[in-house]
Structure 1
Amino acid sequence: MGVEGTRSSERGGVVSRLATWTENLSEQTYALLLLAPGFLILLLFAFWPLASSFRMSFFEDVIVGPESLGGFIGLENYVSLLTDSNAFATLTFLDPAMETPLLQQALVVTLLFAIISVAGETLLGFAYAMLMKAEYRGQRLVRVLIIIPWAIPIVIQGMIFFLLFRPGYGLLTGPLHQLGVFSQLPLGDAFSGFVIVTVADIWKTSAFMALLILAGMESVNQDLYEVADVMGASTWQRFRYITFPLVFPALMVAMLFRTMGALRVYGIIESTGVGCSTVPSMTCLVTEFTFGSTTLYGSAAAVSVLIAITVGVFISVYLLFIRYSNQSLGLT
């Protein structure tokens, strides 16, 4: 009993000292302490693989042999990707000579997809958010119908669009071909496939944008709208001078998350039946170089680093816009 009591007393003393030490921390230090486990997980599953890919990108691809990587070659993998000079690459990252069609170049496809899809999702999401916020009969049903596409798994979503545009018996293949919008084989054509993939992504993810924008709209002080009504403001003036400026920070955060996802697009390309060979994204190149018939680990690592750089550039731009909006609203 004496030994157990001593051990219990020691444990109690350690806990007491730890609690006292924690209470004496500043708010900033305490917040960093709480975030430390998350940072460690992020370091393990994000930064370490990125650092490893960065190191691998400086080594030569090995086509034949037991080794995964060859000797150190510096920036040659990046140069070959940006000049389309890798003879073993089955997909093109970028072709400055323009011998490869634009919608067959992974960087161009990814940037166009990100810009068009995020812009479409933002506009549609804003309309959805205003529709979900308005009070009318059947509001709950409308909210469910808006959210359903986001809840559908990407494989099922891809199958829906595959059946809509499958050659021969696709519901929309014949009519759109007769109108001259799509080719007779839309899933095998670069332009048609790009449009299908973009529309499929907008259809699914607009609900996500709508929910985040709706959260921002709900935080707006309703007294401002009452004052606007008293002053005789029109609907457009209420939106321009109250809704949009106050929702803008939340809108930027929503667009930031969606842009990060759009720049890593892969699943929707494969699940719709379009395929990476028709509409290649940057992530398609990583997959093809890593798991394709010819393994190019050094080039795959270089593409991964270029994806990270592209995402970082977009994040920096969004953060500047968010900072500017916060300053204009007097939040900083």
Structure 2
Amino acid sequence: MPQGPAPDGLRDRAWSRWLDPDDRTLAVLLLTPAALLLAVIIAYPVARLFYTSLFSLSLTSGLPARFVGLENYTLVMEDPVFWETTWNTLLITLITVPGALLTGLALALLANLPFRMKWPVRLALLVPWALPLAFAGLIFAWFFHSEYGIVNDVLRRLGIQGVIWFNSPNWAFAAICLTIIWKTSSFMALLILAGLQTIPRSLYEAADVDGAGRLRQFFEITLPLLKPSIVVALIFRTITSLQTFDIPYTMTGGGPGTSTSTLAMYIHQNTVSFLDLGYGSALAVVMFAISMAVSVVYLRVIRS
């Protein structure tokens, strides 16, 4: 028998379920737009990137795209420049992430001191973070210039011979790492400062009553309660460090040779300069996989 329209009571209950949803329904409603947005801006581009990496597609050859499967990934594994740029990227990460963390922690503790005028100190933290990466690279390339750079000028005034920074792989790498630490430590400081603001003052007052000194308070109160903020800062800083491009590109262009080239610079060279979209996409997929692996490690640390 054909059923008639739903009774008014059922329609009212359905509307009330949507207007006053339970926790599960509310979570689905709130997360659906974010999930769709992530699918559009992340999932589709990554899937398209992987699809392109399965083809031999060089715009300079004039040949049509040809499906080669995983051949591009085999070439990546046999490419010595890939391994060199990957090692440079990992080395930059291993040096600059702890360096930025320690510097950012010191800056955050300084900005959290009970100054009467706190805003100039906290505003100073925003300057390096707000400065564009390429602009920071150009500024420090001038700082480390062998003839008229401020770094060599200070060294000469101290009676120390100046260094030709960008002619030596080691000195050029050191200059890049110092620049990245300066640029990114303010970001770490802002996140850690936000964590410091959430620590109740009553804990320090109780520790003072118990006779705990400043050093003991730092290790037994401040650091444990800062762990969530530090881990979040490390996740963001590590991911962006693995994708380092602007500062090495503007300071040295990857030289001398390829001694300061990063994986992101090598991807840019293959896709933009050489127009080899298939091989460049395979390199980008590998970098994405490395970034995801590091993210998984950090997320497991947070969960534990």
Q: Does 1:297 align with 2:286?
A: no
Aligned partner of residue 239 in structure 1, secondary structure: helix
Distance 1:21 1:109 in 2: 56
Aligned residue number for residue 211 of structure 1: 190
Match of 2:38 among 28, 42, 49: 42
1:93 aligns with 2:89: no
- Between 1 and 2, higher relative CO (CA 8 Å, sep ≥ 6) is seen in 2
Judging changes above 3 Å, is the alpha-carbon distance between structure 1 residues 223 and 57 closer, same or farther for their aligned structure 2 residues? Answer: same
Q: TM-score, normalised by structure 2?
A: 0.86
| Cα shift readout 1:128-162 (whole Å, capped 9, x = no counterpart) | 11111111354332222233222222233222112
Match of 1:285 among 249, 257, 266: 266
Q: Is the 1:124–1:206 Cα contact (8 Å) retained in structure 2?
A: yes
* TM value normalised by structure 1: 0.79
* Contact 2:169–2:255 (Cα < 8 Å) also in 1: no
CA–CA separation in structure 2 for the residues paired with 1:321 and 1:305: 25
Counterpart of 1:310 in structure 2 is: 290
What RMSD, in angstroms, separates the aligned Cα atoms of the two structures?
A: 2.5
- Partner letter of residue 144 of structure 2? F
Unaligned 5+ runs, structure 2: 1-11
- 1:234 counterpart = 2:230: no
| 1:275 counterpart = 2:253 | yes
- Distance between the aligned counterparts of 1:181 and 1:307, measured in 2? 37
Q: Deviations over 1:86-119 (max 9, x none)?
A: xxxxxx111xxxxxxxxxx111111111121111
Q: Is the 8 A contact 1:68 1:297 kept in 2?
A: no
Contact 1:62 1:70 (C-alpha < 8 Å) held by counterparts: no
Amino acid at match of 1:303: L
CA contact (8 A) 2:146 2:162 kept: no
Matches within 5 A, 1:48-59: 48-59=44-55
Say which SS state the counterpart of residue 276 (structure 1) adopts. coil
> Which deviates more, 240-249 or 58-67?
58-67
1:167 paired residue number = 146
Deviation at 1:43, TM superposition (A): 1.1
1:81 offset after TM fit, Å?
Answer: 1.7
1:78 match = 73
Measure the CA separation in 1 of the matches of 2:67 and 2:109: 57
Preserved contact between residue 59 and residue 276 of structure 2 (Cα < 8 Å): yes
Q: Distance in 1 between matches of 2:216 and 2:167?
A: 46
Amino acid at match of 1:287: H
| Alpha-carbon offset, residue 190 of structure 1 | 2.6
Change (3 A) 1:296 1:68: farther
Asked if 2 retains the 8 angstrom alpha-carbon contact of 1:113 and 1:262, the reply is yes
Q: Distance in 2 between matches of 1:62 and 1:156?
A: 32
CA distance in 1: counterparts of 2:14 and 2:180, whole angstroms: 50
Q: CA deviation at 1:314?
A: 0.9
- Per-residue CA deviation, residues 242-272 of structure 1 (Å, 9 max, x unaligned), is 111111011101110111111111111223x
- 1:249 corresponds to which of 196, 214, 228: 228
Once the two structures are TM-superposed, the CA of residue 201 in structure 1 deviates from its matched residue by 1.5
2:106 corresponds in structure 1 to: 127
Distance 1:226 1:83, change over 3 A: same
Gaps of 5+ in 1: 1-15, 86-91, 95-104, 325-332
Equivalent residues, number: 289
Q: Is the 8 A contact 2:191 2:229 kept in 1?
A: yes
Aligned twin of 2:8: none
Post-superposition CA distance 1:63-91 (Å, at most 9, x none): 7533463332x332222222226xxxxxx
2:96 and 2:181 in contact (8 A); partners too: yes
Q: Structure 2: how far apart are the matches of 1:244 and 1:151?
A: 27
